[in-house]
Amino acid sequence: MAEHRPAQPQKREKRTEDKRREAFDAGQKSLRRRRTFIGALAFIPLGGALGCGAGLQVLCQIPQEWWLAIWAALFGSFLGITIRLFLERRKFRRGVASG
């Protein structure tokens, strides 16, 4: 008599979960790299604004308000990416918990 083998949904679910995790990890890695780059880039206008305030005349060729506006835009991007990382991680964990 032949043995009845049930379908293997566990393997399919496992593969689906592995693909989901790989996509999540790749997305998180990309966002972390982008956040690091923008965070490092933000030091240029901040240094320009502070340098002009400290008396470096070369940096005063660009108005201090422009330096600070550029820094604020970069810092806002950095903050936005950080929030996105947090929310996506939270969404992923909720998806894992709900099955």
- DSSP class per residue in 34-66: HHHHHHHHTHHHHHHHHHHHHT-GGGGGS-HHH
Provide the domain limits for residue 65. 26-98
pLDDT in tens, 17-61: 889 899 999 999 999 999 999 999 999 998 998 888 888 888 889
Provide the number of structural domains found in the chain.
Answer: 1
Q: Higher model confidence: residue 16 or residue 8?
A: 16
The two structure tokens encoding residue 89:
């991680």
In a domain, 58, yes or no: yes
9 is a domain residue: no
Q: Among 65, 42, 38, which Cα is nearest to 52's?
A: 65
The pTM for the full model equals 0.76
In a domain, 6, yes or no: no
The answer to whether residue 57 is domain-embedded is yes
Residue 88 falls within a domain, yes or no? Answer: yes
